[in-house]
Structure 1
């Protein structure tokens, strides 16, 4: 049995079903991300696990205990919010120890645990400061320490990095993952940022319209999306219209180029149009060994990004993005130049609804 078992979870507000038959099994110590756009239901799922929202139907079990109808303070769950939610009139140490004081723990135990937590989050010696005296990143570390101080069975993180600038977000997400691994605490992380989800998680749940569209390891989610939504939402995606020549053998035509997909196209008819997709990193500028499919087009855009250069090439009206490394001695082609793109047929995804 999974450590955290979410079974047939549903939530409706009036006639609006915001979470639909959500199922997820999480092993002890796993780091799971709920990824999706605003309004997809990911935060509602988190709040139901925490006990801040009641369930319309379904069950939530932690370590074999049914907590579906328990109050938040009866579930032994730690939660970190997007807006920190620190008490401004309490010091850092008092904020971190707040849950233990509510639980009537001995003062000596609280003091020892607070010192341990401040050491863990890299803020030793700052226990006497107030939240307004800390940076945003430091405040979020304090919020994390407060959630962990009570030794929760499950840690819930509701977009905790979205209010921080880019550099602090990267460093803090690495710290959060390191602390989570060190403590071995089961964690659910809600985010709309695909890079955060892919870089931090053991598994990712991609949500759309209240439904879990796909659950899997980051490598699987990115490279083998099971729906059009997952393919388009996770990472940058190029899409191409292809005309079916032979559905049984997977022969299609993109512009003037015939491509053999080497797979059957169920439900497609000769002459019909299907959608193909490919990631920018599997497209090369010019001819490359192992990438035998050649598409011809004109360079439409060039964006210099430092170590990489993002180009967009017009191929029969479709804009194909690709990335190349910046080489100081080799400037990129100019906008309007005729170019060739090479790719491998195996890297083409067939998008389905």
Structure 2
């Protein structure tokens, strides 16, 4: 039995159904991210788990008990918000210990727990400061410590890093994951940032229109997308429409290209199937093991630091490809003729 079991949740606001038949079993100590664009229902699911919204239908069970009838303060769930939501009139120690004080925990025990939490988040000397004296990253650490201080059964994180600059976000997400692993706390993390979700999660739930389009490990979500939406939302890619030539041999064709995918296909010959290539699977020039070589024209070059992304056109089809930045090998210029190559084994069959 799952530690946290979300079963068949439905939620509408007026005529707008924002969550549709959403189910998700989560194991104890698992870190699961809800990933999707604005309006896909991910925050509504989180708020229903927290108790801030009531589902129209469905159940939310923690250790076998349905918590839907319980108020938020009866569920023993910790929540960290996007806006930090720290009390400006309380010190860092006062903020961290607030939930313990409300729960009537003795003063000495509260002080010990606050000291433990401040040590955990790497701010042991800042208990006497006020929120306005902290950076954004430090404030979010304090918000995390406040949520963890009462020893909740489940931790909910609602886009906690979106207000921070890029470098702080990368550092802090790693710290959150490390703390979560150390405590072994069951966690749901809501984000619209695919890199965040893929980098720190045990599993990712890609949401679209109130439903879970796909649930899987980061590796599976990226490399084996179940729907065109997942394929397009998670990572960059070149979408291609192909026709199955020989399903047993895994052969498809598109625009005169014949591709041997190296695996059997579960559809009949003549079926039109969506396929795709990730930019890292396409090479500039010929390369051993990449049997498909196409003459192409560079159309756009995007410098991304260590990686250069090139959009090349071949046979009326645009291909994205990534190549490492090398000071001794400048990229082609737009309009320059090039060759591109890839292997049929790297082609993603969407939903296949």
Q: TM-score scaled to structure 1, two decimals?
A: 0.95
What's the counterpart of residue 202 of structure 1? Answer: 202
Aligned to 1:38: 38
For 1:72-93, what per-residue CA distance to the aligned partner results, in whole angstroms no more than 9, with x for missing partners? Answer: 0000000000000111111111
Offset, 1:204: 0.5
Checking the alignment, whether the CA contact within 8 Å between 1:239 and 1:318 is kept in structure 2 is no
Query: What is the number of residues matched between the two proteins?
Result: 351
Query: Which shows bigger deviation, 186-195 or 311-320?
Result: 311-320
Q: Alignment partner of 1:171: what SS?
A: helix
> Distance between the aligned counterparts of 1:54 and 1:293, measured in 2?
54
The SS at the match of 2:270 is coil
- 1:251 positional shift: 4.1
Gapped regions of structure 2 (runs ≥ 5)? none
The equivalent residue for 1:269 is 270
| Alignment match, 1:83 | 83
Deviation at 1:241, TM superposition (A): 3.3
Taking a change above 3 Å as real, the CA distance of residues 351 and 217 of structure 1, as seen in their structure-2 partners, is: closer
Q: 1:64 Cα shift?
A: 1.7
| Residue of structure 2 equivalent to 1:104 | 104
Gaps of 5+ in 1: none
Given the alignment of the two structures, is residue 284 of structure 1 paired with residue 279 of structure 2, yes or no? Answer: no
Structure 1 residue matching 2:289: 3-state secondary structure: coil
1:19 and 2:16 matched: no
Output aligned runs, 1:1-353, within 5 Å. Answer: 1-242=1-242, 245=245, 250-261=250-261, 263-264=264-265, 266=267, 269=270, 274-351=273-350
TM-aligned CA deviation for residue 277 of structure 1: 0.7
CA distance in 1, matches of 2:340, 2:254: 13
Tell me, in whole angstroms, the C-alpha distance in 2 between the residues paired with 1:352 and 1:220: 12
| Comparing 169-178 and 294-303, the one that deviates more | 294-303
SS in 2 for 1:48: helix
Deviation of 1:125 after TM superposition, in Å, equals: 1.4
Measure, in 2, the Cα distance between the counterparts of 1:172 and 1:284: 34
Residue 246 of structure 1 deviates from its aligned partner by: 5.5
Alignment partner of 1:288: what SS? coil
TM-score, normalised by the number of residues in structure 2: 0.95
Q: CA deviation at 1:325?
A: 1.1
The RMSD of aligned alpha carbons is 1.8
